[in-house]
Structure 1
Amino acid sequence: MTDPAYVISLAQVRLADRPQVGDKNAWLGEMMEALSGGGVSVPDGFVVTVHSFREFLASNDLNEDLFEVLETVDVSDPDALARVSVEFRDRIAKAPFSHSFVQQVCQAVEALETRSPECSFSVRASLYGSPVSQLESKLNVHGGEGVIDAIKSLYVALFSERSISYRAYQGNSHREVSLAVTVQAMVRSDLSISGVMSTLDCQTGFDQVVLLNATYGLGEAVTKGMVNPDELCLYKTALEQGKSPVLRRKLGSKTQRLIYASDGSGVEAQPVDDEDARLFSLTDGEAEALGKLALCIEKYFGTPVDVEWAKDGLTEKLYILQANPARVETRAQSYERYQLKGGSSVLAQGRSIGQRIGSGVVRIVARTEDISSLRDGEVLVADHTDPDWEPAIKRASAIVTNRGGRTCHAAIIAREFGIPAVVGCGDATELLSTGQLVTVSCAEGDTGYVYDGQLPYEVERRNIGSMPDLPFQLMLNVGNPDRAFDFQRLPHAGVGLARLEFIINRMVGVHPNALLQYSSMPPSIRAQIDRQMAGYASPVEFFVQKLAEGIAMLAAAFAPHKVVVRLSDFKSNEYAHLIGGDQFEPLEENPMLGFRGSARFTSRSFAESFALECRAIKWVREEIGLTNVEIMVPFVRTLAEAQQVNDVLADNGLVRGEQGLRVIMMCELPANALMADEFLHYFDGFSIGSNDLTQLTLGLDRDSGLVAQQFDERNPAVKKLLQMAIGSCKKAGKYVGICGQGPSDHLDFAVWLMEQGIDSISLNPDSLVETWLHLSHVSNNA
């Protein structure tokens, strides 16, 4: 481009043109030119330039007096802000466009209509220096006159209260705002699906995944938080290697879709049928295709990206509507951990945003005109947030919404302002009341909770930029896949204990035999199973895939370090608590010493269920390619069981040694330590379970208040057994670690284990840094 122009074809725009076309248009034009060969399709369109905007202001004498007032207005004064905004929006709305401007825009519209007959248009803002616009898009716009009106509405919206306040909050000069406009042929996603994706996890900054949100209809429903979208997490390495990339699926409620308005212009919401809402809106194949497009864009621009996409319901073609650098809170050199120190009843729950905790008095806001009632430190509760609320939202201590996903307006604003948010609760506005004191916790994983009352909490901040060397490895105990991306930021050598029963309880919730025998279950149990398995093809596939997703999330987060997955170690009373569990589990006087561990895996009554566990692990290792997953076998009582469980694993395709598979035995019975040399013939090493080993050595139940005070992993008898186990592993040249609670609770016990030459200690995340520093100090001063 040389001379300033009113209108430029989007295909002619490049990154170097950002000052005249804005960031969004520059990226779109660059992708049209450079990435079309990689399958990236951008809808045809044109740009209304920054020059057009500046000339409009100048020709209507709107420059000096307007910006002088804007630069001095007190945006913390709602009344003053409203007066200035109303005055200037009115002046801009009444100011005319020049004849030549109107003529050029109409000609560009006609040319676009010639290339794309019967199309309507999207009209969006593109700001220079701000790839994410604060201005609302205009969709399903028709003809030159409609486009002219839409452009004017964007100019007007640039001086809304929220836009003025946002620029002031960001420290940006009003005078330097450079607004261009994107006009594109609409993709008919009103007849199909659309959404957004990001090439990193925006919560933690973990950059080895693509997070993909999808819904029926136009994608504005996702960005505005009108729906709880489906969410898929894709593993980049699997995408690049042509393997199955899906790490996790979360079914959204998708109660409505945005479609073209019945009067022919604009858009409107339409209810989604219950049957469609219970299905994922996109297939794994479509998710994979979108993930590859995201990687193509990220690779070209050399930075993680946020992308808006849409599928045309007429042509079945995928389009990229927008791409820009991803926004994420980076805390690479520090670790911040919020932890509740009390408990109360849960009033509402949804998707957690921000990993923080906030408390305050509830303020339910139903309409835009009511947002001014929000006071400093209150908890904003709404059906969904509106962009016009932004000047007031930063006063909130937390946000709670009925609708929305991780990329909705409320989520984006919460991250930007550092406010905890729980989105997509469904009925928070009904469950909570204005004036009610609550605590909003986003520090417990993917699910956020609203608790009754003001609960105490603490914030731990650690500098983890560089940690001292140790003579052995420290690993992590991680039971919740939702926290995997967060915990992987800690210094670590992998996961020493991932409990499969935690994943089954949290992500499945149904007894595997009840799923295998679904058709013979009582109607009430089948109804519960139906609710749990919504979106999955069958009860069995639901179990296998959800289990695989939980394992894969952990394995991908900590790759290439090993992740030791312990096969399910539910006791019979714990299995009975799962949906349908009471139909299959025996009543045992002492479940701890009963039907558990390898006895269950080698039993005919549990053979089919155990085969499902093996299928899930095999899927993660072979289909996704996460061969860093290793297997841990719990509660092996005899050498005969050791042989049998290896045979059963092999029968299910998990052969020790194939594709580097290691099978570790949980050393947790006195017999395991006493006969360690013999047990090690069947396994690649030991992971010591100090909890059960201590109970069985001392003959006490740590859950009994009468004798629990005697429970101590540092007891001489326990230590003697530990020395035997560690010594046998060292003699055999095999791995030995510990994953029990003891080292997390007792620093002196961790030091003793280090002195015994153990290969690794697996710790709870909250004790890792402190233990690491203490062990380093002892090691350096030994």
Structure 2
Amino acid sequence: MNKISYIRWFNEIGIDDVPLVGGKNASLGEMYQNLTAEGVRVPNGFAVTAEAYCSVLEYNNAWQSLHAALDGLDPDNIRDLQARGEKARAIVYGCQLPDDLQVEILQGYAQLKREYGETISLAVRSSATAEDSPEASFAGQNDTYLNIASDDALLDGYKRCLASNFTDRSIHYKYDNHFDYYKVYISVVVMKMVRSDIGASGVMFSLDTETGFKDVVFINAAHGLGENVVQGTIDPDSFYAHKPSFVMGYRAVLKRRLGSKEKKMIFTNTLNTGNIAVEYTKNIDTSSEERSHYCITDSDVMVLTDYAIKVENHYSNKAGSYKPMDMEWAKDGLDGQLYMVQARPETVSSQKKGNILEIYHLKERSVVLLRGRAVGTKIGAGKARIINDVKHLKDFQPGEVLVADTTTPDWEPVMKIAAAIVTSRGGRTCHAAIVSRELGIPAIVGTENTNEVIKNGQAITISCAEGETGTVYDGLLGFEIQQTDLSQLGHPKTKIMMNLGNPDQAFSFASLPLDGIGLARMEFIINPTPRESPRFSHGEESGKLVLT
């Protein structure tokens, strides 16, 4: 009988291999095989298969122990979830790796050293067999370990990735999306580490995440490793690039927004005494110079736009239908090159059914408490519940507004019962933003001083219906929802062009049967927040158009 091989190299796997290597590995293999020839850079690596995960548990007789730990779990009981999840992780992490599996993993590492040099470090990333599907992304549910540079650290990181199949957040996510806890297996990515710790990294989407507008690439970027962007612990730089203009050969950056980027994540080699380090990274403050400039250039934005279009086109052609993509990228500080490190189907706009346009309107206004980045276009209201630590999640009540510095995947059980979310930190592709879109609830991120302004139990209204800037109002304000069935609207023979005062709303109205949208008011083009309308002044400057 032939011996089972537990690893598959990226050039051996593709998107059809999700049951064997998980979504992340399958996508990396798909890009490595099909897009590197088109100029899309993907670091090489290999998958440790889901068969290896099952083999580890069988070798240690761990299945029965896992059933004892998890059978009868009520995932909505936070205390029960935390206690049982801890037991399940300890069971898996305590497993011994079979000798043949250890040998294969370390042989793969040696081969990567021959390709990239002895000083190569590794990214060791979880890749679940149910992740990155159009129905459920599994984003952030399992663990990643970076800057792995020794045999012992690689094997330890591998076991920690396996154990992360039973993080509290992952267990609850499986429950919410109707996956069997025991039938979602973990494959592990072992790949060349892109040194973005001394470069930059971020996420990008091949459409506008808020409106579903298809003709743009939306990019978020920050100094250092990408976890800060994903988790929303910093306010990143953001860019919009226009895809049709790019295809025609133009440098099509539509919009840039400078983020504060107050932190950057870098590597640390500090070890715990007598043990292998769990934390391989740390956050440090960025310099005033780093905060005052964009962390990537317009040329970088054009390269990323090229990558995004090629990835989207490849997946769309393979599926035979339009497939917007959610991607992660990294810029290596050593070679200066941009790399794709993940691509998965976008799971919100692409899953919308029907063609109903919903427009939310506030019927009244009150004192503005905070402003930040709007996520979605809805309005929500309720009593504020300030949560500063995961220990206090059990205090959250359905229908309250979750107010926090930032969120992580561990918070998702309460996020799904919130009326809205407000965070002090993060951009429009942070964890709070991604989850709120999946849940269909409004969120405002990056308000900076949330806990100083909002009081626990205070009634507030969150409006994301006024463009890219979201507003937190004092009190419970009335609002209405206007619904329009676009499928019933005919397209007239006469070309209809819309004049729009607020450019932030252009993408959301693009789904209407129009032939184009233009900006009617010069002051909105020059200054998004004018204090007064343009006027003709008198006296010496009579006849000149002056903005005041």
| TM-score computed with the length of structure 2 as normaliser | 0.90
Q: CA 1:104/1:59 → structure 2, altered by over 3 Å: closer, same or farther? A: same
Match of 1:385 in 2: 407
- 2:17 is equivalent to residue 17 of structure 1: yes
Match of 2:425 in 1: 403
- 2:535 is equivalent to residue 571 of structure 1: yes
Query: Are the equivalent residues in 2 in contact too, given 1:161–1:391 (CA < 8 A)?
Result: no
Aligned to 2:385, what secondary structure does the other structure show?
Answer: strand
Query: Are the equivalent residues in 1 in contact too, given 2:21–2:127 (CA < 8 A)?
Result: yes
**Pairwise CA distance, 1:450:** 0.8
Structure with greater helix percent? 1
**Pairwise CA distance, 1:80:** 2.6
Q: Distance in 1 between matches of 2:539 and 2:392?
A: 57
Query: Are the equivalent residues in 2 in contact too, given 1:128–1:179 (CA < 8 A)?
Result: yes
**Pairwise CA distance, 1:69:** 6.5
**Counterparts of residues 734-749 of structure 1 (less than 5 Å):** none
Identify the match of residue 309 of structure 1 among 326, 329, 344: 329
**Pairwise CA distance, 1:93:** 2.2
**Pairwise CA distance, 1:86:** 2.3
Q: Distance in 1 between matches of 2:233 and 2:131?
A: 24
Aligned to 1:263, what secondary structure does the other structure show?
Answer: coil
Amino acid of the structure 2 residue aligned with 1:278: S
Query: Are the equivalent residues in 1 in contact too, given 2:143–2:160 (CA < 8 A)?
Result: no
Match of 1:286 in 2: 300
**Counterparts of residues 506-545 of structure 1 (less than 5 Å):** 506=528
- 2:107 is equivalent to residue 143 of structure 1: no
Aligned to 1:130, what secondary structure does the other structure show?
Answer: coil
Identify the match of residue 190 of structure 2 among 157, 165, 183: 183
5+ residue gaps, structure 2: 272-276, 317-322
Q: Distance in 1 between matches of 2:71 and 2:248?
A: 53
**Pairwise CA distance, 1:475:** 4.3
Amino acid of the structure 2 residue aligned with 1:570: P
Match of 1:123 in 2: 124
- 2:172 is equivalent to residue 165 of structure 1: yes
Q: CA 1:494/1:43 → structure 2, altered by over 3 Å: closer, same or farther? A: closer
Query: Are the equivalent residues in 2 in contact too, given 1:71–1:174 (CA < 8 A)?
Result: no
Q: CA 1:510/1:238 → structure 2, altered by over 3 Å: closer, same or farther? A: farther
Amino acid of the structure 1 residue aligned with 2:45: G
Match of 1:328 in 2: 348
Query: Are the equivalent residues in 2 in contact too, given 1:218–1:258 (CA < 8 A)?
Result: yes
Q: Distance in 2 between matches of 1:221 and 1:510?
A: 35
Identify the match of residue 352 of structure 1 among 374, 388, 403: 374
**Counterparts of residues 506-655 of structure 1 (less than 5 Å):** 506=528, 570-572=534-536, 586=538, 599-600=543-544
Structure with greater strand percent? 2
Q: Distance in 2 between matches of 1:136 and 1:359?
A: 34
Q: Distance in 2 between matches of 1:472 and 1:94?
A: 70
Q: Distance in 1 between matches of 2:13 and 2:494?
A: 55
Match of 1:275 in 2: 289
Amino acid of the structure 2 residue aligned with 1:458: E
- 2:389 is equivalent to residue 367 of structure 1: yes
Match of 1:296 in 2: 310
5+ residue gaps, structure 1: 512-568, 573-584, 589-593, 610-782
Identify the match of residue 244 of structure 2 among 221, 237, 241: 237
Aligned to 1:352, what secondary structure does the other structure show?
Answer: strand
Aligned to 1:465, what secondary structure does the other structure show?
Answer: helix
**Pairwise CA distance, 1:44:** 2.1
Identify the match of residue 222 of structure 1 among 229, 234, 252: 229
Match of 2:103 in 1: 103
Aligned to 2:460, what secondary structure does the other structure show?
Answer: strand
Say which structure, 1 or 2, has more relative contact order (CA 8 Å, 6+ apart): 2
Amino acid of the structure 1 residue aligned with 2:103: Q
Query: Are the equivalent residues in 2 in contact too, given 1:105–1:144 (CA < 8 A)?
Result: no
- Aligned Cα root-mean-square deviation (Å): 2.4
Amino acid of the structure 2 residue aligned with 1:217: G
Deviation string for 1:345-366 (max 9, x for gaps)?
Answer: 1111110002111111112222
Q: Distance in 2 between matches of 1:496 and 1:259?
A: 43
Q: Distance in 1 between matches of 2:121 and 2:518?
A: 56
Q: Distance in 2 between matches of 1:222 and 1:92?
A: 29
Aligned to 2:302, what secondary structure does the other structure show?
Answer: helix
Match of 1:58 in 2: 58
Query: Are the equivalent residues in 2 in contact too, given 1:356–1:441 (CA < 8 A)?
Result: yes
Query: Are the equivalent residues in 2 in contact too, given 1:233–1:246 (CA < 8 A)?
Result: yes
Match of 2:270 in 1: 263
Q: Distance in 2 between matches of 1:368 and 1:496?
A: 46
Query: Are the equivalent residues in 1 in contact too, given 2:142–2:167 (CA < 8 A)?
Result: no
Query: Are the equivalent residues in 1 in contact too, given 2:464–2:471 (CA < 8 A)?
Result: yes
Match of 2:319 in 1: none
Match of 1:429 in 2: 451
Q: Distance in 2 between matches of 1:489 and 1:67?
A: 49
Match of 1:530 in 2: none
- 2:477 is equivalent to residue 455 of structure 1: yes
**Pairwise CA distance, 1:174:** 1.8
Aligned to 1:5, what secondary structure does the other structure show?
Answer: coil
Deviation string for 1:621-665 (max 9, x for gaps)?
Answer: xxxxxxxxxxxxxxxxxxxxxxxxxxxxxxxxxxxxxxxxxxxxx
Deviation string for 1:583-605 (max 9, x for gaps)?
Answer: xx5589xxxxx95xxx436xxxx
| TM-score computed with the length of structure 1 as normaliser | 0.64
Aligned to 2:382, what secondary structure does the other structure show?
Answer: strand
Match of 1:39 in 2: 39
- 2:218 is equivalent to residue 198 of structure 1: no
Query: Are the equivalent residues in 1 in contact too, given 2:120–2:192 (CA < 8 A)?
Result: yes
Query: Are the equivalent residues in 2 in contact too, given 1:368–1:386 (CA < 8 A)?
Result: no
Deviation string for 1:560-603 (max 9, x for gaps)?
Answer: xxxxxxxxx7114xxxxxxxxxxxx5589xxxxx95xxx436xx
Query: Are the equivalent residues in 2 in contact too, given 1:109–1:143 (CA < 8 A)?
Result: no
- 2:80 is equivalent to residue 80 of structure 1: yes
Aligned to 2:16, what secondary structure does the other structure show?
Answer: helix
- 2:520 is equivalent to residue 498 of structure 1: yes
**Pairwise CA distance, 1:466:** 2.6
Query: Are the equivalent residues in 1 in contact too, given 2:13–2:26 (CA < 8 A)?
Result: yes
Amino acid of the structure 2 residue aligned with 1:214: A
Aligned to 1:156, what secondary structure does the other structure show?
Answer: helix
Q: Distance in 2 between matches of 1:151 and 1:243?
A: 45
Deviation string for 1:147-200 (max 9, x for gaps)?
Answer: 111121122221122111111101122232022110112111111111111111
Q: Distance in 2 between matches of 1:234 and 1:115?
A: 35
Query: Are the equivalent residues in 1 in contact too, given 2:399–2:418 (CA < 8 A)?
Result: yes
Q: Distance in 1 between matches of 2:517 and 2:81?
A: 53
Q: CA 1:294/1:493 → structure 2, altered by over 3 Å: closer, same or farther? A: closer
Q: Distance in 2 between matches of 1:152 and 1:229?
A: 32
Query: Are the equivalent residues in 2 in contact too, given 1:67–1:174 (CA < 8 A)?
Result: no
Query: Are the equivalent residues in 1 in contact too, given 2:70–2:88 (CA < 8 A)?
Result: no
- 2:257 is equivalent to residue 250 of structure 1: yes
Match of 2:467 in 1: 445
Q: Distance in 2 between matches of 1:358 and 1:424?
A: 17
Q: Distance in 1 between matches of 2:26 and 2:248?
A: 31
- 2:28 is equivalent to residue 28 of structure 1: yes
Aligned to 1:253, what secondary structure does the other structure show?
Answer: coil
Query: Are the equivalent residues in 2 in contact too, given 1:71–1:173 (CA < 8 A)?
Result: no
**Pairwise CA distance, 1:71:** 6.0
Aligned to 2:130, what secondary structure does the other structure show?
Answer: coil
Amino acid of the structure 1 residue aligned with 2:339: Y
Q: Distance in 2 between matches of 1:222 and 1:420?
A: 19
Q: CA 1:246/1:510 → structure 2, altered by over 3 Å: closer, same or farther? A: farther
- 2:368 is equivalent to residue 342 of structure 1: no
Aligned residues: 524
**Pairwise CA distance, 1:446:** 0.2
Q: Distance in 1 between matches of 2:270 and 2:82?
A: 32
**Pairwise CA distance, 1:380:** 1.2
**Pairwise CA distance, 1:474:** 4.9
Percentage of identical aligned residues: 37
Q: Distance in 2 between matches of 1:473 and 1:112?
A: 58
Amino acid of the structure 2 residue aligned with 1:323: A
Q: Distance in 1 between matches of 2:291 and 2:519?
A: 36
Q: Distance in 2 between matches of 1:463 and 1:65?
A: 53
